[in-house]
Amino acid sequence: MDLRTPLPFFMAYPGAMPGSNLSEQLSERDYMRQLYPLEAKQYLVVISDILDRIDFGESYIYDEYPDQLTLLRLTEIILRRIPMRDNLSRDTQRSLVQILLYDEILRRREMRQPQIGK
């Protein structure tokens, strides 16, 4: 190894990159969730409530590759608990719920992963 060759910043100072640890990433995600529009926050309350009911040790939301059909059915269950809005079509609501649902599942999966080095 040639010692005269400079190392890239991220290799010389490990952990100095923003978002390099899980707790920092989760706090950033929580902050960004506070900035969601009111309607999205209301959807997220319903989504969290339903996911709380199926969030257990061997739940399908923790499968390596969750089944798409099961997630679509879960989306429909969530949509039944959300009233139809005049300003949004049902397809738009469905898309928004899917995005929020998948993001919430990812957040829960990240929180469940054991932290490396701790």
Q: Is 8 part of any domain?
A: no
Q: What is the pLDDT of residues 48-88, one digit of tens each?
A: 999 999 998 889 999 999 999 999 999 999 999 998 887 88
Question: Is residue 14 in some structural domain?
Answer: no
pLDDT in tens, 6-41: 666 565 555 555 555 667 777 888 889 899 999 899
pTM of the model: 0.74
In a domain, 5, yes or no: no
* Model pLDDT, residue 118: 46
Tell me how crowded residue 36 is: count the other CB atoms within 10 A of its CB: 13
In a domain, 70, yes or no: yes
Contact 83, 94 (CB under 8 A): no
Average pLDDT over every residue of 92-99: 95
Residue range of the domain that includes 63: 20-112
> Which tokens is 90 given?
């049902």
Number of domains in the chain: 1
b (16+ CB within 10 A) / e for 79-99: beebeeeeeeeeeebbebbbe
* Residue 112 CA: distances (Å) to CA of 25, 34, 38, 105, 117: 14, 22, 27, 11, 15
